[in-house]
Structure 1
Amino acid sequence: MPVRSALIAALAALVIGGPGLVTSAGAGARPAPGAADVYVSPVGQDAADGTGAHPVRTLTRARDLARSRAARSDGDQAVHLASGTYRMAGPLVLDGRDSGQGGHRIVWQGVGADSTLISGGRKVDGWRPTPGRPGLWSAPAPQGLDDTRQLYVDGVRAQRARGEVPVGLSVTATGYTATADTIARWRHPADAEFVYTGGEPLWNVERNGLGQWTEPRCRIAAAQGTTITMAQPCWDNSTKRVEFPDRPGRTVSMVGPGRLTNNGKASYIENAYELLDQPGEWYLDRSAHTVYYLPRAGEDLTSADVEAAAAEKLVDGRGTQAAPLHDVAFQGLQFGYATWLTPSKPEGFSEIQAGYTITGPTGWATQGLCGFVDGGTCPFASWTKMPGNVSFTYGQRIDIEDSVFAHLGAAGLELGAGTSDARVRGSVFTDISGNGLEIGGVDGQPAVSGVEVTDNHLYGLPREYHGGVGILDGYTQHTTIAHNQLDHLGYSAISLGWGGWPDKIGSPATPNPSHDNVVRDNLIHDYMQLLDDGGGVYTQGLTGTSLGDGEKVTGNVIHDQWGLGKSVYTDNGCTYETVQGNVLYGAAYANVASRHTDYRDALGNNDPTLIKGNWWEEGTADSSSKGLVTSGNRIMAGLSDVPADVLANAGIEPAYRGILDRAVEAPAVPEAPARVGTSSGGADGLYVTFNPSFVEGGSPVTGYTAYALRADGTEAARASVDVAEFKRLGYVRVGQLGAGQGPFRVVVTARNANGESAASLASAPLSPSAASVLPGAPTGPRLRTAARAATVAWTPPAVTGDAKVIGYRITVSDGRVVAVGGRDVLVTQASGKGMFRVLGGLDPGTSYTVSIAAVTVAGVGPGVSATGTTAAG
């Protein structure tokens, strides 16, 4: 037998007899081979007959053969994909003709997600050192690659070249006037993109987005001299959002400001050759058709697999209402190396929330503003959803199991309009630019129903559009999101519902078809690592018609939030939600946000909400207030206060936990920390805070190092902190800077078992200064008691002296002194939000007095006291 034929036969045999679904993931068995099956191999030939001995090469040819053989199938029909990479110039398009017949399925079956890759990437070869730029390498762009936003080196995402804006900017109607012509003298200024990171303003970190939950992006259209013209319509959609004439500052969208905050100042600039200065950065010079890259330590470009994401979609299921795509499954596959180019175009990325954007030339004035402006499009809040690199519309009984969605440039998987009875199970979502998984929409299309999302692991995302979420659910019915693990996320973990914002002006939420949606038994932790004003589970708008069919958030364990927000966030217009039996701790200022006025009538009631039987730190007492019922919640001083079976039940079920060990990325250093801010740490030091690395590089981050830099860029001092200490305090102190010295800028790196990350973008300059004025006293002290524990709650002081609050000291009448630190100390001070901590080990039926005092570098301020008696044991 010729060598090539022998190889194809061996690959086909591997498909038939090799490992199928990963048994530790608990997915169902592969279909038995049948006469109607089709075999595919990366080394097959499309002229072949698609049998086991003669596989075809492309998925499109396999689809066509499966169509022609469907009538011969008396069971599930399989398309067997041998191990290897299937490169896609465009998507595998499926329609109603590609459906299972007679109650059976068509199963697109890979050898395993670790072995079978459906790729939209183009390999970049021919790397050489770049003359005149030590350390920089270049290679010709692959033929036909006109643009991309993502590059990967041995499976590790590279960072588009970025840096601080090199000039001062003043906003104009069409862009900016710069203080110098620096940008105009760059090679290709029209490639560059301004990025506006939201987040709560903290120390000398500014808020630059369209709300602290957003990170919009707009490209430069042209730069001539000191005039910078921004691309349209992105610029207008981000700076001209229409406002109510009688409510200055209140946009008709009712979501965020009408224009970019901080006078339109960008947080940083991205995608220019001149910004290549950190290991792991890259740039595509489109006119020269050349890719540039600064290798990380240990990378050898002469042998590395470098992939540029090229295709924008990998699978496109195009069912219709009349002819849906149905009874199709995907198992044992990885989907990767796809991009999304709209943000690079004049449309840009004018974000409004959760990856939804305002688009079109008049989007700022009309899009989704139904009923509030002339010409407003309907329904209200129907903005443009980020697309999925794998997507389905009008799909019935679409099953995805034991698969991986990684190295993707848009949303990972989209189950769009008209989808029903779909399942996503036992799969991994990571290294995705935007939302991990999207279900349904908000644009008036037929509702999605009966979707089950269970036993999946979503982590290390979003990588590029940081306002994205792990799971985004729009207007859906009978959706179940259960037993998933979501961790290390830039913003919220799970976001449901929409259209509740009109309650900001005393109007009811947008009517919608949502009902009977359940979020239960998920494990969510280390979320909101970059942006603010979100939650572990975030909901707004109407969730049903009663508490009976309204949204249920039950049995989840949600902990360790970094940003400013809540564990379960019931935002504007959230109506008929039940929050019951969850374990909620480690949030910034609330475990559950719950009270909103119900504007569907003029009775002054609250949106009906039930908060019952949770274990939490918030400690709010039982009450029933005009539709808002809080009942039977328990203060927890530690996990030992929670029944072990409740904790064990949350997260991925035992049969699927093998996916937690699945290595998707090659070992790498962490992503650089972000949003570095400084505050005076005394006469010779600076306190430094930052957002941690939520992309860990396949190995946990173990610590951070802050470097104080002089004006000439040389190092003045450094300080390191391990992860546990940084979590406890929320900052690190860099000392020995010398009295009267400075100003200094600070960069921060992260480290793991694979090494040290690239440096973060630098903080604003600041000089150390002595502090002598003590902070004022906190206000509003409360002691919320149970039998053996109590929640101490207070509001940060309005006056902080001449230094920032870095902690609190709680003195208890039983003699204990409790030091309070952490990120919530820092973010609640800036925002004036409340604080709380739990005291455990108390005696039942005993009176306790606590005193709370703020701490700055100047010392401990005056205390304020509260007294309470614990319940009888």
Structure 2
Amino acid sequence: MTLLRFAPLGLLLFLAVPASAADWYIAPGGNDAAAGTQAAPFATLAKARDAIRSHASAEAHTVWVADGAYLLAEPFVLTPEDSGTQQHPIVYRAMQDAVPIFSGGSVITGWKKNGKTWEAVLPAKLRSPMPEQLIAGHQPTTLAREPDEGLFTLTSVTEEAPEKGPARQTLRLTGEDYAATLANVTPEELPQVQLLAYHKWDNTRRHIDQLLYEQHAMVTSGRKMKGHNPLNQQTQIRIENYAAALDTPGEWHASADGVIRYFPRPGEDPSQMQMIVPRLEKLLIVRGKPEADEFVEHVELRGLRFLHARWTTPQSGFEPSQAASPIEAAVLIDGARHLAIADCEIGHVGIYGLWFRRGCQHCTLERTWIHDTGAGGVRIGETAMRRDPKQQTDHITIDNNILNRGGRIFPCAVGLWIGHSPDNRVTHNEIADYFYTGISVGWRWGYGESFAKRNTIAKNHVHHLGYGVLSDMGGIYTLGPSEGTVVRGNIFHDIHAYSYGGWGLYTDEGSSGILFEDNLVYRTKTGGFHQHYGKDNIVRNNILAFALLYQLQATRVEPHRSFSLERNIVYYDQGELLHGRWSQVKHDSSNNCYFDASGRDVTFEGKSLQEWQAQGHEIGSIIADPKFADPEKFDFTIAADSPVHKLGFRAFKTDDVGVYGDQKWIDKAKSFQYLPVRPE
């Protein structure tokens, strides 16, 4: 069924299920004034929810959702009165073979060709605020921008920061870059134009206050720059949302007079497609009240698609914030217990996909595809520390999901983020195509109290991160004391930073008590493992291969043992083996295997292995070919006669990493094509 077209009720095929007072039905051609039966279905989820509320029996309720498209007038909201029980859960599920779509968008019609572009008129209700996202059929598009590929680099930045009021920054480009962009902006459209700046691990998104043509500069205002992460002459930028930038297939622009223009890709005809402007910011809200001990409990959503949610940049812009932490999610969950979301889809949204935020326990997300997000895929917990156990989020399971193509509005966002939240399981997920970190765990800089304990990160396939636009990232990135956290059996690869950073396993400020075991890491920029600073982390039985600049990094010298490095294989053909302050950082290292496939001598801060061992390092370690099956094709299967077996290295499986189950689901994860993260 074509997206957002309504089918006659008689054409809908319903699953034959036993008749029960606890069964309800909705269909695109239904009527909320109907009885909600198979023969007379409701039209909306909200009506089915309300019918369950008014039903006096203590039976389990199932809302059967027919195939087709459903326009959401407002987010679908569940509150504590919508709870089931363990014996009598409330289930909202797609009918057999049905693909119900709940859309927060509006279809734009009346497209007419005008030269290379097509144009239509936005309805008045979609002009306030003006849209910043457009979906062409099932494909995302790009808000008109320059440059189309790559980024510009600022030549200088100056700041005026009064004691009161916003700071003002003047940002300068080369004359050539200015001529290609801001010189083409008209005064009338300047209020719409946005600057997206990439700096270290953050991004800043601002409106432009003033153009200084003769200086090749722009003026923006907002928060005073942070000394540790300012905008400067190394900052890369992009200019978005002005008419002259509409010059590449797949781009679009809407002017203040309400005319929307689209430059179609080959084979596209907007007059024959669903051209959708997202209208709602959130699609599903679970609104428990954990502070009042009122939860949404024992509810399941299965087989539903939630698509098309907007983001509109406020006049104040978006100030730099690690992991895009202030940004909420299109599916926002508070105060939920035993909530299950399975076989669903969340896509084409301007913010994060899904967030188990406050007071969520024993909830699951399974076999769900979250894609084309303005920020990241999934968030668990908060940046705040909730000392009331009812308000803390814990025991969340994120298993067998696909999270990809994110960070399109907030490049600093994370594929999967865990804040001050313990006892979660993140397993068998495919996480790819983000501009920053894949998985981030913890939210404490230093050794202060942290709630991010005993998290399990296992069997995830995390790859294609960074794309050389941000820095200081990892396949997995950890912060603060995390005793009991285990990172085991994952594959991290193709991670490339702009300047520094781009690691596989990255223990940042205060990371402590974490076990990294049986992970495969390859094709990173600055190392398979890096510890900035932390305490008593164990890096054991991993394969770390083919980093570009360095293989292992250790940065800060502290009085305690920083980490233990044991029974790992480090295999490389370029760059340095060790980088940082290895001879000074307190660490244990033993029974590792090192090999430089380029034929160079393996040295440790310029010393031979024997000299390095004489200083108390690498006890029992060797320099030897580990005999991988085909490392150039990233087959790291270890031969039976490999010398690493004598070190105690245990071969581990990699063919069970990532999603599992139905072959179509496995094939879907493998079907996506990603651009190279670094120039070859």
TM-score scaled to structure 2, two decimals? 0.77
Q: Paired residue for 1:352?
A: 321
**1:436·1:461 contact (CA, 8 Å) conserved in 2?**
yes
SS in structure 1 at match of 2:257: coil
* CA distance in 2 between partners of 1:478 and 1:149 (Å): 38
Q: Paired residue for 1:678?
A: none
Give the direction of change, closer, same or farther, for the CA distance of 1:488–1:607 in structure 2 (3 Å limit). Answer: farther
* CA distance in 1 between partners of 2:171 and 2:525 (Å): 39
Q: Provide Cα deviations, 1:166-191, integer angstroms capped at 9, x if missing partner.
A: 99986453343888994663431010
Q: Paired residue for 1:617?
A: 571
**1:196·1:215 contact (CA, 8 Å) conserved in 2?**
yes
Bigger shift: residues 151-160 or 217-226: 217-226
* CA distance in 1 between partners of 2:171 and 2:451 (Å): 47
**1:184·1:226 contact (CA, 8 Å) conserved in 2?**
no
**2:418·2:452 contact (CA, 8 Å) conserved in 1?**
no
SS in structure 2 at match of 1:475: coil
* CA distance in 1 between partners of 2:219 and 2:15 (Å): 52
Give the direction of change, closer, same or farther, for the CA distance of 1:632–1:494 in structure 2 (3 Å limit). Answer: farther
Match of 2:433 among 488, 491, 508: 488
Q: 2:476 matched to 1:537?
A: yes
Q: Paired residue for 1:553?
A: 487
Give the direction of change, closer, same or farther, for the CA distance of 1:632–1:473 in structure 2 (3 Å limit). Answer: farther
Give the direction of change, closer, same or farther, for the CA distance of 1:102–1:539 in structure 2 (3 Å limit). Answer: closer
**2:103·2:308 contact (CA, 8 Å) conserved in 1?**
yes
Q: Paired residue for 1:513?
A: 451
Q: Paired residue for 2:311?
A: 340
Q: Provide Cα deviations, 1:609-630, integer angstroms capped at 9, x if missing partner.
A: 4555444437789x99997444
Match of 2:121 among 123, 128, 140: 140
Give the direction of change, closer, same or farther, for the CA distance of 1:699–1:401 in structure 2 (3 Å limit). Answer: closer
Match of 2:509 among 572, 578, 582: 572
TM-fit CA distance, 1:355: 1.3
Q: 2:14 matched to 1:39?
A: no
Q: 2:309 matched to 1:309?
A: no
TM-fit CA distance, 1:220: 2.0
Match of 2:525 among 588, 592, 603: 588
Listed as ranges, the matches of 1:274-673 within 5 Å are 274-285=244-255, 287-321=256-290, 322-341=293-312, 344-356=313-325, 385-445=326-386, 446-500=391-445, 508-530=446-468, 531-544=470-483, 550-563=484-497, 564-594=501-531, 596=533, 604-606=558-560, 609-617=563-571, 628-635=587-594, 637=628, 638=631, 639-641=636-638, 646-653=653-660, 655-662=661-668
TM-fit CA distance, 1:594: 3.0
Q: Paired residue for 1:261?
A: 232
TM-fit CA distance, 1:484: 1.4
**1:578·1:609 contact (CA, 8 Å) conserved in 2?**
no
Matched length = 570
* CA distance in 2 between partners of 1:543 and 1:118 (Å): 38
Q: Paired residue for 2:539?
A: none
Q: 2:100 matched to 1:127?
A: no
SS in structure 1 at match of 2:511: coil
Give the direction of change, closer, same or farther, for the CA distance of 1:113–1:121 in structure 2 (3 Å limit). Answer: farther
* CA distance in 2 between partners of 1:6 and 1:136 (Å): 31
TM-fit CA distance, 1:525: 2.6
SS in structure 1 at match of 2:664: helix
Listed as ranges, the matches of 1:670-819 within 5 Å are 700=673, 731=679
Q: Paired residue for 1:82?
A: 66
SS in structure 1 at match of 2:272: coil
* CA distance in 1 between partners of 2:451 and 2:533 (Å): 21
Q: Paired residue for 1:160?
A: 143
**1:595·1:628 contact (CA, 8 Å) conserved in 2?**
no
* CA distance in 2 between partners of 1:605 and 1:630 (Å): 17
TM-fit CA distance, 1:567: 1.0
Give the direction of change, closer, same or farther, for the CA distance of 1:162–1:114 in structure 2 (3 Å limit). Answer: farther
* Runs of at least 5 residues in structure 1 that lack an aligned partner in the other structure: 18-31, 198-208, 242-248, 250-255, 357-384, 501-507, 545-549, 664-695, 703-722, 732-821, 823-873
* CA distance in 1 between partners of 2:404 and 2:567 (Å): 28
SS in structure 1 at match of 2:653: helix
TM-fit CA distance, 1:16: 4.3
SS in structure 1 at match of 2:348: coil
Larger Rg: 1
TM-fit CA distance, 1:488: 3.1
**1:596·1:606 contact (CA, 8 Å) conserved in 2?**
no
TM-fit CA distance, 1:632: 4.7
Q: 2:42 matched to 1:56?
A: yes
Q: Paired residue for 1:14?
A: 14
Give the direction of change, closer, same or farther, for the CA distance of 1:620–1:268 in structure 2 (3 Å limit). Answer: closer
* CA distance in 1 between partners of 2:33 and 2:360 (Å): 35
SS in structure 1 at match of 2:655: helix
* CA distance in 2 between partners of 1:319 and 1:607 (Å): 43
* CA distance in 2 between partners of 1:482 and 1:184 (Å): 47
SS in structure 2 at match of 1:261: coil
TM-fit CA distance, 1:327: 1.0
TM-fit CA distance, 1:150: 1.0
TM-score scaled to structure 1, two decimals? 0.60
* CA distance in 1 between partners of 2:593 and 2:461 (Å): 19
Q: Provide Cα deviations, 1:732-761, integer angstroms capped at 9, x if missing partner.
A: xxxxxxxxxxxxxxxxxxxxxxxxxxxxxx
* CA distance in 1 between partners of 2:95 and 2:211 (Å): 51
* CA distance in 2 between partners of 1:529 and 1:33 (Å): 54
* CA distance in 2 between partners of 1:155 and 1:114 (Å): 17
* CA distance in 1 between partners of 2:246 and 2:7 (Å): 47
SS in structure 2 at match of 1:196: strand
* CA distance in 2 between partners of 1:630 and 1:224 (Å): 57
SS in structure 2 at match of 1:407: strand
SS in structure 1 at match of 2:125: coil
TM-fit CA distance, 1:302: 1.4
Q: Paired residue for 2:225?
A: 240
Give the direction of change, closer, same or farther, for the CA distance of 1:624–1:33 in structure 2 (3 Å limit). Answer: farther
**1:114·1:333 contact (CA, 8 Å) conserved in 2?**
no
Give the direction of change, closer, same or farther, for the CA distance of 1:50–1:148 in structure 2 (3 Å limit). Answer: same
Q: 2:52 matched to 1:72?
A: no
Q: Paired residue for 1:176?
A: 170
**1:35·1:73 contact (CA, 8 Å) conserved in 2?**
no
Give the direction of change, closer, same or farther, for the CA distance of 1:556–1:701 in structure 2 (3 Å limit). Answer: closer
TM-fit CA distance, 1:475: 1.0
Q: Paired residue for 1:841?
A: none
* CA distance in 2 between partners of 1:585 and 1:9 (Å): 55
**1:401·1:425 contact (CA, 8 Å) conserved in 2?**
yes
Q: Provide Cα deviations, 1:431-461, integer angstroms capped at 9, x if missing partner.
A: 1111101111112343211001111122222
SS in structure 2 at match of 1:216: strand
TM-fit CA distance, 1:222: 5.3
SS in structure 1 at match of 2:437: coil
TM-fit CA distance, 1:407: 1.2
Give the direction of change, closer, same or farther, for the CA distance of 1:578–1:589 in structure 2 (3 Å limit). Answer: same
